[in-house]
Chain A
Amino acid sequence: MKRSIVCRCEDISEEDVIQAIEEGYTDIEELRKKLRIGMGPCQGRVCIQLVTRILERKTGRKISKIQLPTVRPPLVPVSLGTLASENDEK
């Protein structure tokens, strides 16, 4: 079966996104919570642009009108050990 992968972290295809939109999940935050796009290690760098385009195509809403998800820190994964070592008292 041919699948166009939209989100590599969560293994979500274009068909999955279209199906969710057709079920009524037409807000990018709703799609994110439904499909977990943007919640993997890349934090949306790969999928969000693609999903935004699919949303534009399916709903007719202009890309500029589609609200992007909030950017969550840290921007790159950081280990708990690194975060815990800040200002360590010896």
Chain B
Amino acid sequence: MKSKADVVIIGGGVNGCSLAYRLVKKGLDVVVVEKKYLSSGATGACGAGIRQQWSTRENAQLAIQSVKIFERLRKELGQDIEFRQGGYLIAVHDEKEMEQAEKNVTMQRSLGLKVDILKPDEITGVVSILDVKGMKAIGATFCPTDGHANPFRTTFAYADAARKLGAEINTHITVINVKTAKKAIRAVVTDQGTIQTDVVVNAAGIDSKAIAEMVKVKLPLTPFRKEILATERLQPLFEAMVISFKDGIYFSQQKEGQIVGGIPIPEEKKGYKTMPTFAFLEHMAKTLTRYAPVLKHVNVLRHWTGFYDVTPDARPILGEVREVKGFIQCSGFSGHGFMISPMVSLLLTEFIAEQKISDVLESLSLDRFKGKNIEKELSVVG
């Protein structure tokens, strides 16, 4: 392991690896340290969805620009990340939800996004296996350019490309301490040696809070355990991701044919416990077969847990903290870290390599929680 670097990134998920790739392309000397293996945290456990239909303008903007990058990523990285644009169908269940949906669609269209409001009888035209009565939908919104990519392949592709350009990506290394002097970053101490550096990026997912505490910075992050299941492989049945904010369910069919989906756990608790629950399986099976009754014949193969690192407004914490020079946050993604990772790495690269602070980076700084007017993201599932 190197003993000196321009930037040390803590965390080998999709955000850590994509940032390593962008920074090394700018000519910086980058080291990534990952406690387990690449994509072992939230990235590897996530639902693989890429959505642009958000309620806050900033999130919609980040997602729209991220999709543009996802579209050219295969060519740029030279590896298939299984990006497909089958759209997101968001079920709308009552008048109040329809009012919010109309507001969201107006804002999203003003950003140039193509989004449609579907009538109940148009829903099965998009996803034929849905039972509109069973899902109690009065309509839906649909954006055809939303989609999926394979989170493992995306992370590995970024890591491979970064390594080829000279980044050092280390797995199975634990960070023990982050050293500062005169309110500035000095070094990262690991169980396999110390790396001198002026810049540390905290991209450690739910462990970001503990990393920040090493330099006495408090992050308003709460871990929420989430569960998700995968079925056996089927012939292609539908292309869109189906979600509902009211039921909290999301499900889609992946490239290999399996259906992957999740729903909030009935007895959800905060904390770091990771065992899957039977209550989830039952609740998910009931809701999923209510949405798509034909799926009752399909076998569940596997069921696992992951975490959302949730902030008070469900939006990430990005950029340098005021208290420690060179200590840069890249966490608090609240369940949406994969889909906005292309823009996150771009914004942070602009800041680290060129000292550029864009408006959106400013609006996502840790300092925003000191003010009173934070706008909460409402469009959250899982």
A-side residues, CB < 8 A to B, are 23-25, 27, 29-30, 33-34, 36, 39-41, 43, 70, 72-74, 77-84, 86-87
Task: Please tell me if B162 contacts chain A, counting CB pairs below 8 Å.
Answer: no
Q: Is there contact, CB below 8 Å, between B303 and A79? A: no
Does any Cβ of A come within 8 Å of B161's Cβ?
no
**CB distance B156 to A34 under 8 Å?**
yes
Q: What is the CA–CA distance of A84 and B286 in the complex, to the nearest angstrom?
A: 4
User: Closest approach, in angstroms, between the C-beta of B366 and any C-beta of chain A?
Assistant: 32
Please state if B38 and A30 are interface contacts (CB–CB under 8 Å): yes
Interface residues of B (CB under 8 A from A): 36-40, 44, 152, 156, 160, 163, 171-172, 230-233, 256, 276, 281-282, 284-286, 288-289, 295-304
- Chain A residues near B233 (CB-CB < 8 A): 40
Are A84 and B282 in touch, CB under 8 angstroms? yes
**What total of A-B pairs shows CB separation below 8 Å?**
81
Q: Which of A30, A43, A70, A87 contacts B37 (CB 8 A)?
A: A30
Q: Is the interface of A mostly helix, strand, loop or mixed?
A: loop
Identify whether the interface residues of B are mostly helix, strand, loop, or mixed.
mixed
Which of A30, A40, A80, A84 has the most chain B CB within a 10 Å cutoff? Answer: A80
- Within the complex, what minimum Cβ distance (angstroms) separates A41 from chain B? 6
A contact residues around B156 at 8 Å (CB):
25, 30, 33-34
With A34-B156, A84-B286 already in contact, the answer to whether A78 and B299 are too (CB < 8 A) is yes
Measured CB to CB, the nearest residue on chain B to A29 is: B37
Q: Nearest Cβ distance between residue B242 and chain A, in whole angstroms?
A: 15
Q: Which chain B residue has the least Cβ–Cβ distance from A36?
A: B256
Chain A residues whose CB sits within 8 angstroms of the CB of B281 once the complex forms: 73-74, 83
